[in-house]
Structure 1
Amino acid sequence: MFFLLLWTLWILDTVSASVTVYGQIPMGITSASSPTATVAAAYNTTLLQPPEIPDPAPNTSFTLTLPSSNTSVARLSIPVPGAFYGFSIEMSVITQLFGKNSSFIQVPLLNLFSNVAERAGELHVRVGGNTQDYAFFVETLPEDRAISKQSADTNNPTQTPAVIYTMDLFYLLGNVSALVDVKWYLGKFLSVPFNDTSDFRLQIVEYGEAVLGDHLLGIQVANEPDLYSAHQHRNSSYGPADYTAEFGLMVQALAADSNVPVKNNLIGPSVSGTWTPEMVWNTGFINDYVDNLFALSVEQYKLTPAKYNCFPIYGIGVFHDPQIEFSDFLNHTSAVALCEPYLNSTSIAQKAGKPFLMFETNSASCGGFPGISDSFGAALWALDYGLQMAYSNFSGAMLHVGGQNVFYNPFTAPPTNVSKYYEWTIGAVYYSALISAEVFGKTNTAQIVDMLGNSESIYTPQYAIYENGALARVGLFNFMTDPSGANSYKATLTVSGGTVPSSVQVKYFLSDSVSTKDNITWAGQTLGTIHEVDGRFKNDLNIVTISCDTSANTCVIPVPAPAFALVFMQTEESIGTATFPTTTVKGGTATVPPAVLATSNGMSGADWQLGSTSDEKSAGHPRLGTDVLRGVLFAVGLVALAL
């Protein structure tokens, strides 16, 4: 039965006559109408030189003394959920990544989501984008699409397009959750539009709650309000007190809406660095709306709004040389410095009894850096940053996902009409989310501490993780690259108030260099490289067993340069990830003008209008019947496999 379905899908694929490929790797332009090839950022092959070994180099052997119980740890984080790292997905690429409607769901996405959810217990995903403020609901869209966009508003200097959505968007998200345990934040495009406070367009909240139910975590009320003036959404005097007042109008509107049963799942203020969160707290925001808030939120990229990184793609602003910037990602100071400004706010959030979320983040605003954002070094940086956020008492963080024209994507779908030739592309930082799920586990009791060992070397940070009060795991980083092995190190673990086990298991996150984009493995397995990812792991699992000396109370853990090692101090249950067979993939994107992105953190699909890459589609000949039939066959295929 299953092979018959595969044959049927192959027949469907062969009936499409015309394909135009725009500069993807390894194939170049195959369309005679396009004389030159331009490689999208998501497939950029720039390789940088690893930074030199620091002088003096860190010690290559040191001892970490680990208390056996969390009661003996001086500064320990609050309990951290396994689903700490999630994904913030740009609304303009939702049809490319998820599927154009609820009848067709991209199988690779399900696999990528399932990998993390199986390790964390569930996965949190925020659906968003840079042009939320003009989103509105319509009954139907051509080709039964879940989203579309209207012409840009020419009266707006940023020419922001309106995002249009239908009920099917919520069914699409709900169908994903029916297959993988995904819970949602509706934000940015889907957050409550703030462009008209006389009409809050509450269909987003009403339909989200009605369709998603318990799978809806929260509603983001405004995105980056500290940039509203710059985006011409408010006048130049707009400030934190104005935002707080408008938030209050939203609370009143929800209270009066009988179609909104949940009144306390709002999220704000999602400031991006132009305002500090304290500027909002000082308006009385938390005290006034504590009963309406699900969580407090901020957004922060490695390069902040004060130091935009729009030059690599748009030629806007100041050029930051990736080779020079690279070393700043490859040390522990980077993660600590990013978290320090929020320590006061995480403390305030705890006193208010609210989670504190990093609602959108990645390596650099405006799409990231060529050579950095998709490298193994960026994956080490993002993992260290995530663990440091957890240590700083954040309760979650979302790695942003954009279109084909960004360097930092955790994953990228192929353009629609080359999906017959290519599979997906994985970004190195996807592994950061995957590994953090294993660091924290499924119990939601994990607490983490920055050990500050090895004379507090910034190139070899270490963390200890306590679960249900007991020492469970140890994380060891090595940010240096040294093929000779001279700067690999050995960490001797010893337990105070207890003894080491007779042996420990270690999973290694490895690559040849911090610069590499290929040959990245987690416990010996890889998802693949450019255009060869279906969301399922390749190669055999390789978990290293290391014998310990119980009489000396020591375990010696080698850590290559570069690498991350996760040491399991307790016996862990094996992870069996449910995956789905890849029979076909399909996608498309909307676009956002560069002017909007130049003053915004995230990035969408501008410049790469991939929703219509063949002449017959542009001429208005949709293949709706084929797409719907594929969706039906996909569903039947899952049933056949289950049988």
Structure 2
Amino acid sequence: MRLPFSLILLALTSLTTAQGDASAAPSLQASDTSTISAALDPSFAGLGIEPSNLYSFTGGAQANQLSINLLQNLADYAGAPPHLRIGGNTQDYMIYDSSYTNFNVENTADPTGQGDSDIFTIGPGYFEALDRFPQGTPITYGLNLAYSLTDWNTRIVDTATAAVTKLSNVKLVSFEIGNEPDLYHENNIRDVSYAGPQYTSEWLARADQVWTKVLQPAGIPSKFFEPAATASTDGTTFDINSLIKFGITAGSDNADTFVFGWNQHDYYYFTGVTNYGLTIDHMLQLQTTEDQFAYWTTQVDAANKSSLPYYLREMSSAGPTGLQNISDSFAGALWTLNFFCYAASIGIASVEMHMTDNSYASPWQPININNQSPHVRPNYYAFAAVAQLIGSGNGTSQIAKLPLTSVTSAYTAYVKAYSYYRQGQLAGFVLINGKTSNTTDTSKSMNFSLSLPNNFANQKLWLQYMSSTGASATSGVTWNGVSFEQTDDGTPQTVKTTTDTLDIGSDGKVTVSVPDSQAIVATINFGLGGVNTAIKKSDALARSQGSVVLICISIVMSFWVCDWII
């Protein structure tokens, strides 16, 4: 028997005992908030691919349709494909050879570069494979800085030339020269004296070669490079202010400047480095994310003062390859959703979550590995939610921190809130409660009491969910009534065809009671993107007269999926 979802919700809500409360009163105007993002680029929620793993995601002689479809889904929701960074440790070990025709990364039999910095060979097929991704996909491509033999200039120019001339479907938007130079000594790439001044000198020399011999002849501006792709700058001379002092933004005799934006890296947790064992519950204590990232906010501030954007081009819940049953759980999806919102709110211009083919933190597994066939992971649904959120603003979406009051003490570490603005006006909220819920525990929830401006009085709140059976679930997730797991190729399938609503009071107040560990998106007077419908720019423009309220409450409860399985 298939019962109406609203009846199931009503019956189960009556059995739910609210365990926590929080209140919020957002500002109507974006200009009245204390911390808010700039208008978010549709490609904001991006991905990074380790260069040695590129073919796993693109396919070799034949395309990997799963990857292509999953990226196209996000492009359809956001209005543009997610930004892709092709970079990581292995970029500093790659040499381009135009005569190498195979679709694979070849191991060099006798590497001669310092630190084996020429141990991998790629050819034209590398860029042919990368060019399969959705049209217009913005690409940041990582060039080899580690290689320092006398022909370094020829080597880097050859690679840059291939990237510029062979990528025509995707869009090359910037080069990154070198990956994490602050670790070069540890990786036997440079000696112990290597620091910010030496890096700056080498970086400028290579940028100048690429600019004069590749970019300038192609009519591409010199502001096309992102320093410094660092793993850390704390206690080093690779921080933004130091690099500026060393002259990295000064350019050369041939160009005023080469710097397109700042490129840094971080991980919430890193195996062998972080001094505790990560659990689902710890990850969902969302305050720990802010605590861990506190230092990097100083770098974001330095970037803003330099009038150049700050890009977090390598990030993940756990590195280097994620943690099974944690990174690939629904809790990982909730953490990812929160991090995207948090990053936007503190002024980060783009975030790329790093992917390797064997990482449990990657939003999908592209090939047979880890005794599993290719499949979509819960993380992917967070990308879909953020893409649809940003797409609904048609280029005007902004996210700000939203202060909460009267938060029940047991929930304080787990609760974060954000306001969503469109065209400078309040359009919604992201309310996140990371309190862990098991599949058998359906009695705990949070009451989020929202005091909305009177503009929203007596309107309807349409509810859409990012759902699963529990924080530990590694499959069975849905976003906005859609599953990406029903087919082998990542195409969206509708699994819920109805939309639920709440009434906003005449005083603008509404209380949303949501179980622990679930996400809800709510919009005023219409469904966000519709069921299984991408937000196109024309759709967003047509709806620009309407008001949108987004409520993402990271809370999971098994009864939300009852209507889909009965």
Question: TM-score by structure 2 length?
Answer: 0.80
Matching of residue 411 in structure 1 with residue 364 in structure 2: yes
Q: Is the 8 A contact 2:105 2:120 kept in 1?
A: yes
- Which residue is 1:293 aligned to? 259
Matching of residue 348 in structure 1 with residue 307 in structure 2: no
Residues in 2 aligned to 1:240 and 1:570: alpha-carbon distance in whole angstroms: 54
What does residue range 475-486 of structure 1 map to in structure 2 within 5 Å?
Answer: 475-482=430-437, 483-486=440-443
Deviations 1:9-52 (A, max 9, x none): xxxxxxxxxxxxxxxxxxxxxxxxxxxxxxxxxxxxxxxxxxxx
Q: Report the secondary structure of 2:352's partner residue.
A: strand
Which amino acid is 1:308 matched to? Answer: V
What does residue range 180-191 of structure 1 map to in structure 2 within 5 Å?
Answer: 181-187=136-142, 191=143
Q: Report the secondary structure of 2:26's partner residue.
A: strand
- Which residue is 1:125 aligned to? 84
Residues in 2 aligned to 1:175 and 1:393: alpha-carbon distance in whole angstroms: 31
Question: What's the offset of the Cα at 1:297?
Answer: 1.0
What does residue range 91-170 of structure 1 map to in structure 2 within 5 Å?
Answer: 91-101=51-61, 104-122=62-80, 123-141=82-100, 144-145=102-103, 147-151=105-109, 153=111, 162-170=119-127
CA separation of 1:168 and 1:375: change in aligned 2, threshold 3 A: same
Question: What's the offset of the Cα at 1:161?
Answer: 6.5
Out of 330, 350, 353, the residue aligned to residue 399 of structure 1 is 353
Out of 74, 77, 80, the residue aligned to residue 40 of structure 2 is 80
Q: Report the secondary structure of 1:546's partner residue.
A: strand
Out of 193, 217, 223, the residue aligned to residue 264 of structure 1 is 223
Q: Is the 8 A contact 2:458 2:506 kept in 1?
A: no
Out of 552, 568, 583, the residue aligned to residue 507 of structure 2 is 552
Residues in 2 aligned to 1:234 and 1:87: alpha-carbon distance in whole angstroms: 29
Residues in 2 aligned to 1:336 and 1:383: alpha-carbon distance in whole angstroms: 14
CA separation of 1:75 and 1:206: change in aligned 2, threshold 3 A: same
Out of 307, 311, 316, the residue aligned to residue 357 of structure 1 is 311
- Which residue is 2:323 aligned to? 369
What does residue range 125-524 of structure 1 map to in structure 2 within 5 Å?
Answer: 125-141=84-100, 144-145=102-103, 147-151=105-109, 153=111, 162-178=119-135, 181-187=136-142, 191-196=143-148, 198=150, 199-200=152-153, 201-212=156-167, 215-257=171-213, 259=217, 261-262=219-220, 263-273=222-232, 275=234, 279-283=239-243, 284=245, 285=247, 287-289=249-251, 291-304=257-270, 308=273, 321-322=277-278, 325-404=279-358, 406-415=359-368, 424-441=374-391, 443-455=394-406, 457-482=412-437, 483-496=440-453, 498-500=455-457, 502-524=459-481
Q: Is the 8 A contact 1:58 1:459 kept in 2?
A: no
Q: Report the secondary structure of 1:473's partner residue.
A: strand
Residues in 2 aligned to 1:302 and 1:88: alpha-carbon distance in whole angstroms: 16
Q: Which runs of 5+ in 2 are unaligned?
A: 1-16, 536-566
Question: What's the offset of the Cα at 1:515?
Answer: 1.3
Residues in 2 aligned to 1:236 and 1:81: alpha-carbon distance in whole angstroms: 40
Residues in 2 aligned to 1:217 and 1:338: alpha-carbon distance in whole angstroms: 30
Q: Report the secondary structure of 1:176's partner residue.
A: coil
Q: Is the 8 A contact 2:195 2:237 kept in 1?
A: no
- Which residue is 1:4 aligned to? none
Residues in 1 aligned to 2:207 and 2:129: alpha-carbon distance in whole angstroms: 27
Question: What's the offset of the Cα at 1:547?
Answer: 2.8
Question: What's the offset of the Cα at 1:450?
Answer: 1.7
Deviations 1:126-156 (A, max 9, x none): 12242222311222335x4264332374997
Which amino acid is 2:282 matched to? Answer: D
Q: Report the secondary structure of 1:266's partner residue.
A: coil
Question: What's the offset of the Cα at 1:184?
Answer: 1.0
Residues in 2 aligned to 1:360 and 1:253: alpha-carbon distance in whole angstroms: 26
- Which residue is 2:8 aligned to? none
Q: Is the 8 A contact 2:95 2:118 kept in 1?
A: no
Question: What's the offset of the Cα at 1:329?
Answer: 0.7
Residues in 2 aligned to 1:415 and 1:496: alpha-carbon distance in whole angstroms: 51
- Which residue is 2:491 aligned to? 536
Q: Is the 8 A contact 2:314 2:351 kept in 1?
A: yes
Q: Report the secondary structure of 2:127's partner residue.
A: helix
Task: Report how many aligned residue pairs link the two structures.
Answer: 494
Question: What's the offset of the Cα at 1:541?
Answer: 4.0
Which amino acid is 2:523 matched to? Answer: F
Q: Is the 8 A contact 2:483 2:495 kept in 1?
A: no
What does residue range 543-582 of structure 1 map to in structure 2 within 5 Å?
Answer: 544-569=499-524, 571=526, 572-574=528-530, 576-577=533-534
Q: Is the 8 A contact 2:114 2:147 kept in 1?
A: no
Q: Is the 8 A contact 1:124 1:183 kept in 2?
A: yes
Q: Is the 8 A contact 2:18 2:513 kept in 1?
A: no
Residues in 1 aligned to 2:65 and 2:104: alpha-carbon distance in whole angstroms: 17
CA separation of 1:452 and 1:274: change in aligned 2, threshold 3 A: same
Residues in 1 aligned to 2:112 and 2:126: alpha-carbon distance in whole angstroms: 27
Q: Is the 8 A contact 1:63 1:454 kept in 2?
A: yes
CA separation of 1:542 and 1:384: change in aligned 2, threshold 3 A: farther
Deviations 1:318-361 (A, max 9, x none): 8x544xx4332111212212332122222222233322111111
Q: Is the 8 A contact 2:436 2:516 kept in 1?
A: yes
CA separation of 1:454 and 1:378: change in aligned 2, threshold 3 A: farther
- Which residue is 1:8 aligned to? none
Deviations 1:46-87 (A, max 9, x none): xxxxxxxxxxx9963333212222133233222222321111
Residues in 1 aligned to 2:88 and 2:110: alpha-carbon distance in whole angstroms: 15
Question: What's the offset of the Cα at 1:277?
Answer: 7.5
CA separation of 1:210 and 1:72: change in aligned 2, threshold 3 A: same
- Which residue is 2:547 aligned to? none
Which amino acid is 1:411 matched to? Answer: W
Deviations 1:483-525 (A, max 9, x none): 4433212323222363345102222112222111122221233
Which amino acid is 1:449 matched to? Answer: A
Residues in 2 aligned to 1:154 and 1:202: alpha-carbon distance in whole angstroms: 19
Residues in 2 aligned to 1:105 and 1:526: alpha-carbon distance in whole angstroms: 23
CA separation of 1:259 and 1:100: change in aligned 2, threshold 3 A: farther
CA separation of 1:511 and 1:415: change in aligned 2, threshold 3 A: closer
Q: Report the secondary structure of 1:476's partner residue.
A: strand
CA separation of 1:397 and 1:570: change in aligned 2, threshold 3 A: farther
Residues in 1 aligned to 2:427 and 2:318: alpha-carbon distance in whole angstroms: 33
Residues in 2 aligned to 1:140 and 1:502: alpha-carbon distance in whole angstroms: 64
Greater RCO between the two (CA within 8 Å, min separation 6)? 1
Percentage identity across aligned positions?
Answer: 19
CA separation of 1:241 and 1:501: change in aligned 2, threshold 3 A: farther
Residues in 2 aligned to 1:340 and 1:298: alpha-carbon distance in whole angstroms: 14
Question: What's the offset of the Cα at 1:163?
Answer: 2.3
